[in-house]
Amino acid sequence: MAEDTTNPTATAPEESAAPVTTTEAPAAPKAGKRKKNKRTVTFGQLHIQATFNNTIITFTDRTGGVLAQSSAGACGFRGSKKGTAYAAQIASEKAGNVVKQQYGMTKVDVFVKGIGQGRDMAIRALSGIDMGVESITDVTGVKHGGTRPRKARRN
């Protein structure tokens, strides 16, 4: 008996084997594990930011909540290839397919910002996935006045 009290490993398997209550009814699912309701957004917005170095495509609902996004860099293009029209087309198709499958989006308002090569091709790629374009709006920033000029040179 003295050996049983001094050896803690001998009592550990007995204690762990005693409480076997796994045959009871399964516990209710956790609050974080409940099933998500599938949200349907048939009409939304497409924001295209076309720069010389990359093209970013973002699909949102009417209030501006992001549903899906993609960019030329996220599609595997690197370096100067990210700024091409083909990269913008692939990025637009990728994000468009996600939105169409997950949310059932069929029509979009397009908002284009920037002066990159991907402006037109990103919009044209939507016709390839049967998504209607309701309107196209250019929201590119316009310079107004610019920065303060340098001081005048003294002779």
Spell out the domain ranges in the chain: 43-138
Q: Does domain 43-138 have CATH number 3.20.20.80?
A: no
Alpha-carbon distance of 97 to 126, in angstroms, equals 9
Please give the pLDDT value at position 26: 59
Dump pLDDT digits (tens) for 66-111. Answer: 999 999 999 999 999 999 999 999 999 999 999 999 999 999 999 9
Q: For all residues of the chain together, what is the average pLDDT?
A: 84
Q: List, in order, residues 6 or more apart from 71 with CB less than 8 Å away.
A: 54, 55, 56, 57, 82, 91
Does residue 21 have a pLDDT over 80? no
